[in-house]
Amino acid sequence: MSPFSARVRRRELLKAGALLSASSMLAPFNLSIAAQPDEQLELITRAIPATGERIPVVGLGTNNYSVTAAEDLAMRREVLERMPKLGGSLIDTAPAYGRSEEVLGKLLADIGNRREFFIATKVTAANEDLAGGKAMIEESFRRLRTDNIELIQVHSLQGLDTLMPWLQELKGAKRIKYLGATTSDDRQHTAMAEAMRKYRLDFVQLNYSLDDRESASTLLPLAQERGTAVLINVPFGGRRGSNLFSRVSGKSVPTWAQEFDATSWGQFFLKYVISHPAVTCTIPGTTKLSHLQDNQRAARGRLPNAAQRKRMEEFWASIG
Ligand SMILES: NC(=O)c1ccc[n+]([C@@H]2O[C@H](COP(=O)([O-])OP(=O)(O)OC[C@H]3O[C@@H](n4cnc5c(N)ncnc54)[C@H](OP(=O)(O)O)[C@@H]3O)[C@@H](O)[C@H]2O)c1
């Protein structure tokens, strides 16, 4: 069992104990799920098929962590300090996100909680330049201030064939634990399916949301068939442009969402994504503590079943 899995297990055991004592204190009253504090709802984790290692189902995207101003850094520090306490673990970053890796490396070193996280970063090989790709990876180790990176993904499939043998070497040398590839564009889905059939990828990262369900047609079933873990990016439709929240502006979350413990739009959208059986973890981007708390809450309690997912899709179409 990895140190992270052991911590998850320990937290689950502690929580189970807390639940037992809380329920015996509260008996014979019937505590409704909605009234329960977050930590009493079960944290949902999923196994990475390649190893069986379990990770919590909601992580963090950091494409807006390229900041320098003290108040911007302080906001992100708050998020990183609180995230593992709420049960979260996986952070997604990339060299393409400006100073994001550097900011993460510094803040995690200052807080002293690097080992609480599963870090996923990315690499590209422009014009099939392997030397450039290798240098980019070394920079990631330096900027993240770590000797081991849990996952390196080929960013938007750029230079996949050039980079894959090198990622396999790094994995063999145990400098990285897992390798993978990403896309956030439906137009790349055919190429991603080819990559998934050609290589044994530990992870793929795909775009999937209530508003864009294209990944569910081929890529998500293929990931299940191939035993590939799946990270979902842009679960709210992406930081840029109009995201899912704009469509529900001024509207209340339907009362039936309480049947699967969703009390905010953020939880509604994330629970749709993580209730797909192929999904291992989603990485909503956030820079705010209140959003982190909201998103981490989606990793607890009940998830929508097939009929409830259908209802969510019908609801989404009805407000389009
Ligand atoms: N090709 C690729 O590999 C690729 C492409 C795109 C993205 N990604 C990864 O996926 C991650 C997610 O994508 P994204 O950040 O662009 O889009 P997203 O997760 O769909 O949406 C992020 C936006 O939602 C807001 N938000 C977050 N939680 C919220 C909540 N509970 N309630 C209301 N608003 C909330 C954020 O605001 P605040 O910042 O104010 O919290 C931000 O504006 C990225 O950070 C990146 O790591 C990868």
DSSP classification of residue 32: -
CA of 80 to the centre of ligand 1 (A): 15
Residue 14 confidence (pLDDT) above 50: no
Q: Whose CA is nearest to atom 44 of ligand 1?
A: 61
Q: Which of 236, 287, 293, 296 to mutate to test the pocket of ligand 1 (most atoms within 8 A of CB)?
A: 236
Task: Encode pLDDT of 41-88 as tens digits.
Answer: 999 999 999 999 999 999 999 999 999 999 999 999 999 999 999 999
pLDDT above 70 coverage of the chain, percent: 88
DSSP classification of residue 43: B
Question: Cis peptide before 28, with omega less than 30 degrees from 0?
Answer: yes
Residue 40's pLDDT band (cuts 50, 70, 90) = confident
Q: Whose CA is nearest to atom 36 of ligand 1?
A: 286
**Helix 100-111 vs helix 130-144: angle between axes, to the nearest 10 degrees?**
30
Residue 71: C-alpha distances to residues 56, 95, 205 (Å): 29, 23, 31
Report residue 181 as tokens.
Answer: 């590839």
Contact 96, 129 (CB under 8 A): no
Residue 19's pLDDT band (cuts 50, 70, 90) = very low
Contact 204, 192 (CB under 8 A): yes
Query: Is the beta carbon of 62 within 6 A of some atom in ligand 1?
Result: yes
Query: Is the beta carbon of 256 within 6 A of some atom in ligand 1?
Result: no
Q: Whose CA is nearest to atom 4 of ligand 1?
A: 184
| pLDDT score for 242 | 74
Give the span between the Cα atoms of 184 and 188, in whole angstroms: 8
Give the span between the Cα atoms of 304 and 312, in whole angstroms: 9
CA of 136 to the centre of ligand 1 (A): 24
Residues 6+ apart with CB under 8 A from 255: none
**Helix 219-226 vs helix 189-198: angle between axes, to the nearest 10 degrees?**
10
Give the span between the Cα atoms of 130 and 133, in whole angstroms: 5
The amino acid that residue 173 corresponds to is A
Average pLDDT score over residue span 120-124: 99
Question: Please, is 204 exposed, middle or buried when counting C-beta atoms within 10 Å of its C-beta (0-12, 13-18, 19+)?
Answer: buried
CATH number of 44-318: 3.20.20.100
Nearest ligand 1 atom to alpha carbon 184: 1
Q: Which of 233, 240, 246, 264 to mutate to test the pocket of ligand 1 (most atoms within 8 A of CB)?
A: 233
Q: Whose CA is nearest to atom 15 of ligand 1?
A: 285
- Pick from 15-19, 28-32, 36-40, 199-203 the range whose average pLDDT is largest: 199-203
Residue 295 confidence (pLDDT) above 90: yes
| pLDDT score for 36 | 58
Query: Is the beta carbon of 295 within 6 A of some atom in ligand 1?
Result: yes
Query: Is the beta carbon of 59 within 6 A of some atom in ligand 1?
Result: no
Name all contacts of 66-74 with Cβ < 8 Å and 24+ positions apart: 66/97, 66/98, 66/99, 66/100, 66/103, 67/99, 67/103, 68/99, 72/287, 73/103, 73/107
Q: Strand 54-56 to strand 45-47: parallel, antiparallel, or no bridges (unpaired)?
A: antiparallel
Q: Euclidean distance between the first and final Cα of the chain, in Å?
A: 46
Give the span between the Cα atoms of 300 and 56, in whole angstroms: 10
Q: Whose CA is nearest to atom 8 of ligand 1?
A: 233
pTM of the model: 0.91
| pLDDT score for 204 | 99
Average pLDDT score over residue span 11-34: 38
Give the span between the Cα atoms of 275 and 268, in whole angstroms: 11
Residue 92 dihedral angles phi and psi, to the nearest 5°: -105, 130
Query: Is the beta carbon of 308 within 6 A of some atom in ligand 1?
Result: no
Query: Is the beta carbon of 285 within 6 A of some atom in ligand 1?
Result: yes
Contact 50, 229 (CB under 8 A): yes
CA of 237 to the centre of ligand 1 (A): 8
Query: Is the beta carbon of 282 within 6 A of some atom in ligand 1?
Result: no
Average pLDDT score over residue span 284-294: 98
Residue 219 confidence (pLDDT) above 80: yes
For CA atoms 190, 217, 246, 33, give the dihedral sign.
negative
Query: Is the beta carbon of 188 within 6 A of some atom in ligand 1?
Result: no
| pLDDT score for 8 | 47
CA of 310 to the centre of ligand 1 (A): 24
Give the span between the Cα atoms of 226 and 222, in whole angstroms: 6
| Best CA proximity match to 266, nearest among 277, 288, 280, 279 | 288
CA of 180 to the centre of ligand 1 (A): 20
